[in-house]
Amino acid sequence: MLVTALATASVLVGVAELDRFVLLASRLPRTAALVLTGAAMAVTGLIMQLLTRNRFVEPTTTGAGDAASFVLLMLLLTTPGLPLAGKAAVATLGALVGVFGFLALARRIPVRSSVLVPVIGIMYGGVIGAVTTFIAYRTELLQELLSWSVGDFSGILRGRYEMLYLAAAAALVAWVAADRFTVAALGEDTARGLGLDSRGVLLLGVTIVAVVTGIVSVTTGLVPFLGLVVPNLVSRMIGDHMRRAVPLVALLGAALVLGCDLIGRLVRFPFEIPISIVMGIVGGVTFLWLLLGPASQPGRASRPAARPVPVGRRRG
């Protein structure tokens, strides 16, 4: 119901008078792009957190988006006339390499600290982003680089968003293989003991993340905090079982993106604030609440406290 109400409001809100042409060419495509992007990116965040067994990881903190932007910039310098589908394919390959590079670094961390892993990812992405920004500055392509790294749905029109259905289909594959991801999250040794091909599941998960990241980068630009906040909220509500979590993660991701986009369109109406700015504020505040708020999680059973051992007695 919430997604339906927000989607209806998204269709009705706008500067131009709502007629059949505006509805079919702009309002409906934009609303569909918001729903598809929110659902797909939220699910990819859930996948990354299960594969790395870390709550602070998502595609934008693993270098995937930065790697996609880098290869898109190289593509713009070499073959600028490539169609949108070709750019999405190249961005997907770049994101795939970026995620594998992050996983290779994460495996070399001696202590799998819940904070150290995302810090390594941020530093890794920062290096790639710095090189990309320097090249874009030298070649006067900073504006194009900004369009890939900052989410903005103001330019979505009919004929320029349809690839997002492929991103949503990739997220649907994650729901089909949800049980495998749940077992893989138990650890490599446990997964092998249960007969699961952990490397195959890892490759499937990374491919889904790369496809979604590549497509979203070239169509709308990446939205920060989405894949980080939404899976954590759902985990607090229902726990870590992925088959139950994926539909809720997708719906909550779509609702959050629709809501942030509406805020950006209404705060300075008729002007518009890019959704990345609004999502950065909302997602940042929500993430701080998750870190500093109550630690109780309704979806998980609490462990009973151990009885104190009386002084002077030994355990039996």
Residue 169 has a pLDDT of 93
Q: Are 250 and 171 in contact (CB under 8 A)?
A: yes
Distance CA 243, CA 237 (A): 14
Distance CA 137, CA 12 (A): 39
Residue 104 has a pLDDT of 86
Q: Which domains does the chain have, with CATH numbers?
A: 27-291 (1.10.3470.10)
Residue 114 has a pLDDT of 65
pLDDT tens for the chain, 316 residues long, are: 788 999 998 888 877 778 888 888 888 999 999 999 999 999 999 998 888 888 888 888 888 889 999 999 999 998 888 888 899 999 999 999 999 998 888 887 766 566 677 788 888 989 999 999 999 999 888 888 888 878 888 888 888 889 999 999 988 998 888 888 877 777 777 777 777 777 888 889 899 999 999 999 999 888 888 988 999 999 888 877 788 889 999 999 999 999 999 999 898 888 888 898 899 898 888 888 877 766 544 444 333 334 444 444 444 3
Q: Are 55 and 232 in contact (CB under 8 A)?
A: yes
Q: Are 228 and 56 in contact (CB under 8 A)?
A: yes
> And the tokens for 132?
């990309």
Residue 73 has a pLDDT of 92
3-state secondary structure at position 299:
coil
What is the full DSSP assignment across 120-187? Answer: HHHHHHHHHHHHHHHHHHHTT-HHHHHHHHS---TT--TTSSTTHHHHHHHHHHHHHTHHHHHHHTT-
Which residues are within 8 A (CB) of 281 and not within 5 positions of it... i.e. 6 or more apart?
none
Cα–Cα nearest to 94, from 122, 128, 50: 128
Residue 193 has a pLDDT of 76
